[in-house]
A and B are shown apart, each in its own frame.
Chain A
């Protein structure tokens, strides 16, 4: 059912070879090419060519409006090696991604297990938990910024009425990133819950009955039946959460502008700043290539892990 499962399931089976005689008879125009033309054209123009061009630009001193771009070899990359702001953005992005990923999987597992039976009440709870996932991260960021506002915000309002201190959530160097992580988990745990719920509901009932006969309690059934059966679904959530996390942009852009003191500046935000604010397109392209390699590595690890699953 999931995308990831399909990747290995389908691509492994090649199309049947066309016999030579039939191929010759089909030498006239094949309508299939009309069907694939629009998508293929868009993919070539807006995905494949730009990837190559990103790589090419990253080797240049490229600024907008100039006819000639000075070739710099790997200079952009060696600048990046010594760029504290880049390493900081990488650290922020990876920290955010790991924390949101773990939080999302743990909460999603817990809720999927507790809400596995479908009644009107569990359906209602599931909808509430899923709701943040369908809303725009940028808009939700604006809303949260005001929920956390020291003067008019709900959270500090409550803390104040309890006589507690009012931490400066988004201006504090130690709290800003954890606050964004919390919002990231809040936004996405409903997604994990839905995927894992679908996984749990696909586990045959007899496995649980067999485990009960062997004397397993609720924890034992969860540990030895649910968890192993859910491995592909968990892996899928982890991969999607990782890729989404590495692309983090909306939340810091809207809520903190990467601050305070770059403590929440993500890679994509840094890329945006270099490319679309400073117009240093060559350097931004180099950052984009590093991001691409990072995501490619994650995807390849995913494919590997899934292949192991098929062998099991």
Chain B
């Protein structure tokens, strides 16, 4: 009887792995289908919609999307927005986190609690007044209008403060004995030691901003200032859509993060595990 149950258990386990593998393939099928549609002519798609691989290959979708949308411009915009805001955010958040974790100043607790409190404020809540502020400043449809309001995050400050607090206190004393001031301590000692935390924060923030939709949708109305997701939506809602072009556009929008994920999966997983915010 025990060999019988053991065999049953082995069959069950094999079955579970088969189910898991099928589920994994099913999870990424929309992406595979997207790539297939991007590379096939419309006639082929209408004839065999259930097929994932193209019957005929063609680059027409990529050509079409590049002529119908200012695609080079959109890619640059998205990189400037996501990259610019993330770099500024790393600088500002690490500075604040450094002051909170390693320096002493009056009002320190108050500032920390203030920052913690803003963790609970989703940006949708402040969207309308922020929109009006940008409107009055003449910052709508500009790169700095997109970037500057997103250049700090309570979450980033919080994560980095945690990390900085764990670095040994002796570092500060040693630096002071050598005559280093706060700026040297921050720039030459704390930051270089915090590369893993900074890298994780960079990856999740860059990904979040690259994927962001509502914010660029509200701040930009002019297609030449939009980012990829917002521009692509505009494109998809115009009538008589060219499927191959749309899926080619989607594939191009997804590819930078997909490639980064394949190359540096560790940072994505660590960043997400440490923060858990998109």
Is A168 an interface residue when CB atoms closer than 8 A count as contact?
no
Cβ–Cβ < 8 Å partners of B93 in chain A:
39
Cβ–Cβ < 8 Å partners of A154 in chain B:
29-30, 33, 49-50, 52
**A186 to B105, Cβ gap below 8 A?**
no
Query: Could you say which of A29-37, A81-89, A173-181 contacts chain B?
Result: A29-37
Is A127 an interface residue when CB atoms closer than 8 A count as contact?
yes
**B105 to A10, Cβ gap below 8 A?**
no
Count of CB-CB pairs between chains A and B under 8 Å: 280
**B269 to A130, Cβ gap below 8 A?**
yes
Cβ–Cβ < 8 Å partners of B277 in chain A:
3, 240
Pick the residue among B132, B135, B258 that contacts A135 (CB under 8 A): B258
**B92 to A39, Cβ gap below 8 A?**
yes
Cβ–Cβ < 8 Å partners of A125 in chain B:
20-21, 24
**B133 to A127, Cβ gap below 8 A?**
no
Is B103 an interface residue when CB atoms closer than 8 A count as contact?
yes
**B276 to A195, Cβ gap below 8 A?**
yes
Chain A interface bracket (under 10, 10 to 19, 20 to 34, 35 or more): 35 or more
Cβ–Cβ < 8 Å partners of A47 in chain B:
118, 121, 126
Give chain B interface residues in 196-221, CB to chain A under 8 Å.
207, 210-211, 213-214, 218
Cβ–Cβ < 8 Å partners of A191 in chain B:
272, 276
Pick the residue among B50, B159, B257 that contacts A158 (CB under 8 A): B50
Give chain A interface residues in 21-69, CB to chain B under 8 Å.
23, 30-33, 35-36, 38-40, 42-43, 45-51, 53-54, 57, 64
Cβ–Cβ < 8 Å partners of B50 in chain A:
154, 157-158, 160-161
**A46 to B149, Cβ gap below 8 A?**
yes
Pick the residue among A15, A45, A57 that contacts B109 (CB under 8 A): A15
Cβ–Cβ < 8 Å partners of B194 in chain A:
none
Is A92 an interface residue when CB atoms closer than 8 A count as contact?
no
Interface of B is mostly: helix
CB distance from B112 to the nearest CB of A (A): 7
* A139 CA / B256 CA spacing, docked (Å): 13
* CB-CB nearest in chain A for B211: A136
* Residue from B95, B155, B230 with most neighbouring chain A CB atoms (10 Å): B95
Pick the residue among A1, A114, A147, A272 that contacts B273 (CB under 8 A): A1
**A35 to B95, Cβ gap below 8 A?**
yes
CB distance from B84 to the nearest CB of A (A): 14
Is A77 an interface residue when CB atoms closer than 8 A count as contact?
no
Is B125 an interface residue when CB atoms closer than 8 A count as contact?
yes
Given contacts A3-B155, A15-B108, A35-B186, whether A271 and B99 have CB atoms under 8 Å apart is: no
Given contacts A30-B105, A134-B268, A253-B233, whether A35 and B129 have CB atoms under 8 Å apart is: no
Is A80 an interface residue when CB atoms closer than 8 A count as contact?
no
Is A232 an interface residue when CB atoms closer than 8 A count as contact?
no
* CB-CB nearest in chain A for B124: A268
CB distance from A106 to the nearest CB of B (A): 14
Q: What is the size, in residues, of chain B's interface with A at 8 Å between Cβ atoms? A: 104
**A143 to B96, Cβ gap below 8 A?**
no
**A139 to B149, Cβ gap below 8 A?**
no
Cβ–Cβ < 8 Å partners of A43 in chain B:
114-115, 118, 152, 154
Is A78 an interface residue when CB atoms closer than 8 A count as contact?
no
Given contacts A15-B108, A42-B92, A137-B211, whether A51 and B121 have CB atoms under 8 Å apart is: yes
Is B122 an interface residue when CB atoms closer than 8 A count as contact?
yes
**B27 to A53, Cβ gap below 8 A?**
no
Per-residue CB proximity of B33-54 to A under 8 Å, as 1/0? 1100100000001101111100
Pick the residue among B20, B103, B114, B122 that contacts A32 (CB under 8 A): B103
CB distance from B202 to the nearest CB of A (A): 14
Given contacts A247-B124, A295-B122, whether A142 and B232 have CB atoms under 8 Å apart is: yes
Is B61 an interface residue when CB atoms closer than 8 A count as contact?
no
**A32 to B99, Cβ gap below 8 A?**
yes
* A292 CA / B119 CA spacing, docked (Å): 12
Pick the residue among B91, B125, B269 that contacts A54 (CB under 8 A): B125
Is B1 an interface residue when CB atoms closer than 8 A count as contact?
no
**A143 to B162, Cβ gap below 8 A?**
no
**B229 to A136, Cβ gap below 8 A?**
yes
* A291 CA / B181 CA spacing, docked (Å): 45
Cβ–Cβ < 8 Å partners of A253 in chain B:
213, 233
Cβ–Cβ < 8 Å partners of B111 in chain A:
36, 40
**B122 to A247, Cβ gap below 8 A?**
yes
Cβ–Cβ < 8 Å partners of A296 in chain B:
120
* A53 CA / B133 CA spacing, docked (Å): 11
**B269 to A143, Cβ gap below 8 A?**
no
Is A14 an interface residue when CB atoms closer than 8 A count as contact?
yes
Is A169 an interface residue when CB atoms closer than 8 A count as contact?
no
- 6 A–B pairs (Cβ distance < 8 Å), ordered by A: A128-B25, A186-B27, A190-B27, A249-B214, A268-B124, A284-B128
